[in-house]
Amino acid sequence: MNNLGLIISFLVIGAGLLWFLLRALQGKEVERRIIFVFIGLAVSVPILFSITFAEKASPIVKAVYDKIENLPDGSRVLISYDYGPSMAPEVEPMSNAFLRHSLAKGHKVYLMGLWATGQSIAATAIDSVVRREFPEKVYGVDFVNLGYKAGNQGVLNVIITDIRKMYLTDVGGIDLDSLPIMDGIKSLRNMNLLMSVGGGFPGIKEWIQFAGDPGHIPVAGGSAAVSAPLLYPYYPTQLLGLLGGIKGAAEYEAELKRHYPQFADTPQPGIKMMGPQTLAHLVIMAFIIIGNISFFVARRRRG
């Protein structure tokens, strides 16, 4: 049913665009209402039929995926929740995907936040992702929520040498030394991978400057689309990979789904949001091309 809807709507949109391309070759303009109809279709069809596109991870996203994939089982992975509710729709899919992937691979996951709001978002992630999808994982053994500490990059400056100078207990007040997951963890240097998800200050940039670089620890990140361009100069030397905006999230979700069949039914908000975006983009670009063709044809005719 879905496939039928998809094929029909693609045929309609494709044939329509082709028709207007042919008209453009005769120098004819497209009426604006036609464009509106195409945009309407391009956005509503993917919503109605839950059309998603095969996303292919770009190298910068694939780098993050490969890193988690290639770490030996039982490696230590830290995920920092550096965002608040307003940024959540865009970056929460990323932190959830990181969390899923790390747990599925059997890594030990340490959650924390440089943003005060990150602490409760991390707690939500434990409820909605870990407890639901990985009921066998044990708190304190396979994962832990360290919570938020005030001090922005100052926190990193301290925990790069000694985590316990900042964190004596986890978020629930349990002594860190009583948690098996903390055995042998003295500082961030004992982590195999640091991941920061966010899009403001403090965020990925601070993780690079105050933890990754001084400690020679690999840093990966997920960032809102607005701030992603500012992080590209760090890739690939200081930042091993980056998920930028909904697109990055979708690519990662797709990569995860391809290799882990058990995630076939988990929600993929990133991929879902990309459907209408992609189609609308294509339609707009098609019309820009059509517009230019009819413009040049008409100009040549006029002499």
Partner 1 sequence: MNGSRWTMIVLIAVVTLFLVSWAIKSFPSSGDTISWPSIRHAFFVTLAAFVTLAIFSFLYKDNPYYKFAEHLFVGVSAAYWMCVGFWSTFVGNLIPRISPGLSKFFGVPYKEFTFYYFVPLILGILLLMRLSSKAGWLSRWALAFIVGTTAGLNLIRYLRSDFISQVSNTFVPLLVQWKGTGAFFSDFSLASGGQFTLMLTNWVIFIGTFCGLIYFFFSKEHKGVFGAASRVGIWVLMITFGASFGYTVMGRVSLLVGRLTFLFDDWLGLMN
Partner 2 sequence: MKRQLPLFLVLIFGLFGIVQYFIPHEKSEWMYEFLLDWIYIIGIFALALGIWSLMRVSWDKIKHKRQNWQYSIVTLTGLFAMIFFGFNYFRDFFNSAGLQNYMFRAFFDHIMIPIQATMFSLLAFFIASAAYRAFRARSLLATLLLISALIIMLRFNPYLGFIGDYMERTALWLLNVPNLAAKRAIIIGVGLGMVATSLKVILGIERAYLGKD
Partner 3 sequence: MKRQFLLLLLLCFAVAAPLATAQTAEDSPLSGEAAVAVSPAPGPVSNIQLKDTDNDHGHSVTLSWEISPDDGAGLNNVIGYEIHRALSPEGPFVKRAGVPAGSHSHVDVGSKEESSPDYMKDYIDYYYKIRTITADSAVNAESTVAGPIQSYGQWFNTGRVPVLIFVACFLALTLYFINRAKGGADLYVRPLAGIGAVDEAIGRATEMGKPILYVLGLGTAADIATIASYTILGRVAKKVAEYQTGLIVPCYDPIVMTVAQETVKASYADAGRPDSYKEDMVYFVTQSQFAYVAAVNGTMLRDLPATNIYMGKFYAESLILAETGALAGSIQIAGTDEIAQIPFFVVACDYTLIGEELYAASAYLGREPLLLGSLKAQDYAKAGVILIALVGFILLNFGVDGFKEFFFVSN
Q: Please report, as ranges, the residues that interact with partner 3 according to CB under 8 A.
A: 32, 151, 154, 157-158, 161-162, 164-165, 168, 186-187
Which of partner 2, partner 3, partner 1, none is residue 158 near (CB under 5 to 8 Å by kind)?
partner 3
Binding status of residue 122 toward partner 1 by CB under 8 A: no
Q: Are 75 and 195 in contact (CB under 8 A)?
A: no
Binding status of residue 233 toward partner 1 by CB under 8 A: yes
Whose Cβ is closer to partner 3: residue 71's or residue 283's? 283
Return the range that interacts with partner 1 (CB under 8 A); candidates 70-78, 91-99, 199-207, 232-240.
232-240
Which of partner 1, partner 3, partner 2, none is residue 238 near (CB under 5 to 8 Å by kind)?
partner 1
Binding status of residue 238 toward partner 1 by CB under 8 A: yes
Per-position DSSP letters for 75-116, written without gaps between them: -EEEEEEE--TTTHHHHHHHHHHHHHHHHHTT-EEEEEESSH
B/e letters for 153-175, b = 16+ CB within 10 Å, e = fewer, are: bebbebbbeebeebbeebbeeee
Binding status of residue 3 toward partner 1 by CB under 8 A: no
Q: Are 115 and 81 in contact (CB under 8 A)?
A: yes
Q: Which three-class secondary structure state does DSSP give residue 67?
A: helix
Nearest one of 182, 111, 177, 178 to 148, comparing CA atoms: 111
- H or E element: which one contains 218? none
Whose Cβ is closer to partner 3: residue 64's or residue 158's? 158
- Tell the smallest beta-carbon distance from residue 20 to partner 3 (Å): 19
Whose Cβ is closer to partner 3: residue 18's or residue 168's? 168
Which of partner 3, partner 1, partner 2, none is residue 27 near (CB under 5 to 8 Å by kind)?
none
Whose Cβ is closer to partner 3: residue 138's or residue 168's? 168
Binding site for partner 2 (CB under 8 A): 30, 32, 35-36, 38-40, 43, 53, 55-56, 58-60, 228-230, 232, 247, 250-251, 274, 277-278, 280-285, 287-288, 290-292, 295-296
Whose Cβ is closer to partner 1: residue 36's or residue 296's? 36
Q: Are 266 and 133 in contact (CB under 8 A)?
A: yes
| Unique residue bearing structure tokens 């039982």 | 74
Report how far apart, in Å, the C-alpha atoms of 141 and of each of 178, 225, 248 are: 10, 34, 30
x/- map, 43-62, partner 1, by CB under 8 A: xx--xx-x------------
- Tell the smallest beta-carbon distance from residue 189 to partner 2 (Å): 31
Which of partner 1, partner 3, partner 2, none is residue 300 near (CB under 5 to 8 Å by kind)?
none
Q: Which three-class secondary structure state does DSSP give residue 194?
A: strand
Which of partner 3, partner 1, partner 2, none is residue 56 near (CB under 5 to 8 Å by kind)?
partner 2
> Residue 169 phi/psi, 5° resolution?
-135, 170
The secondary structure of residue 210, as a DSSP letter, is I
Neighbours of 295 (CB within 10 A): 13
